[in-house]
Structure 1
């Protein structure tokens, strides 16, 4: 067991760990089925306990990589409407696209920042921002803000857990990943409830108007 732990620590301290982090986060920007967030939390938690890269390095690298991945999604939306992408035709993706299209033009900053914490929604919002004709310079400002907040949140949680369980880094890692899953589930649940409530009010308004 000690040998396995030593191997994991060695990999985490290797420069290749940050290269892997960049690759995962870039892909995660337009294809949210890779463990980008988990890699951020893993490296930051191990770094906080002295067995990985410095959390500040994770924060800087992850923020930059997240912006690159989001930028690719933005360009995809600019060139090919997201609704035409094969992998965006599922029910979750289509729901996210409908939600994003109705809001991105009214308040792009708030939506781009808030959507970062919802995997399918954040990709749909970013692609919709590109398809909507949002100026690139405005998008870059919002992208920097959203990527920084999003990354700082995950690094902060990981560092807190890593320092709290510094004597047992793997317990800290498990705690930070568990917290991330629970918080993402809670945010997704709240988003779903708000969306359903808005749809119900809209349907009731239409029905009342018909009457």
Structure 2
């Protein structure tokens, strides 16, 4: 079939990498679907090498996250009007609060929530998380996130080796369901934290959006990981 033919082509890696890069800063693109599909077909013997899929996916995911990080560092999270809407502002405030408490864990966990991972990455950049600290976290988070999808895909692909497309479909459904469950848990946790503590306002804390008016009133020598 056309899908298995494309999966066996070197172009499959290029397409997957492109989707993952875009997904890093534009979460409406289902990047994990490409990873799961190729890994499942590869495990069933009808696609690319699973280890190459994993390696390319990790690198592409890091590049996508780096673009989101660069956007946050360059324009901040208050520059455009849509960023200042109530729901988006709450998401950024929630991300700031989490990054202040546990930046490493928060960046890794946020990978599993599409919209949250972009907000958290941009907030970390706007809050001046040092690049030297961000890069190893990004590598660890990308490896853990991508590895999970590949493991699920390999299990499904091998279990349905005689029906590779069915195995790929089952793997996709599994990761989507897990992602939805994770998002529900994260949303409930966020709401509980919002009720328990007031959102950060950029003053009196280590975090501040450089693009916000508060940036002029906060010393520039107080980075996120201070």
Structure 2 unmatched runs, 5+: 199-226
TM-score by length of 1: 0.89
- Residue 107 of structure 2: aligned partner: 112
TM-score by length of 2: 0.83
C-alpha displacement at 1:86, in angstroms?
5.7
Q: Report whether the alignment pairs 1:68 with 2:63.
A: yes
- What is the CA–CA distance in structure 1 between the aligned matches of 2:195 and 2:120, rounded to whole Å? 22
- What is the CA–CA distance in structure 1 between the aligned matches of 2:63 and 2:161, rounded to whole Å? 32
Structure 1 unmatched runs, 5+: 1-5, 204-211
Moved over 6 A (4+): none
C-alpha displacement at 1:95, in angstroms?
3.3
CA gap 1:122/1:201 in 2 versus in 1, 3 angstroms? same
CA deviation digits over 1:25-60, x for unaligned, max 9? Answer: 111111111121100111111111011111111100
Secondary structure at the residue paired with 2:123?
A: helix
The structure richer in helix per residue is: 1
- What is the CA–CA distance in structure 2 between the aligned matches of 1:200 and 1:70, rounded to whole Å? 30
Q: What are the equivalent positions in structure 2 for 1:58-207 lying under 5 Å apart?
A: 58-85=53-80, 88=83, 93-202=88-197
- What is the CA–CA distance in structure 1 between the aligned matches of 2:86 and 2:170, rounded to whole Å? 32
Is the 1:45–1:162 contact (alpha carbons within 8 Å) kept by the matching residues of 2?
Answer: yes
CA gap 1:15/1:92 in 2 versus in 1, 3 angstroms? farther
How many residues align structurally? 198
CA deviation digits over 1:98-126, x for unaligned, max 9? Answer: 21111213321111100000011000111
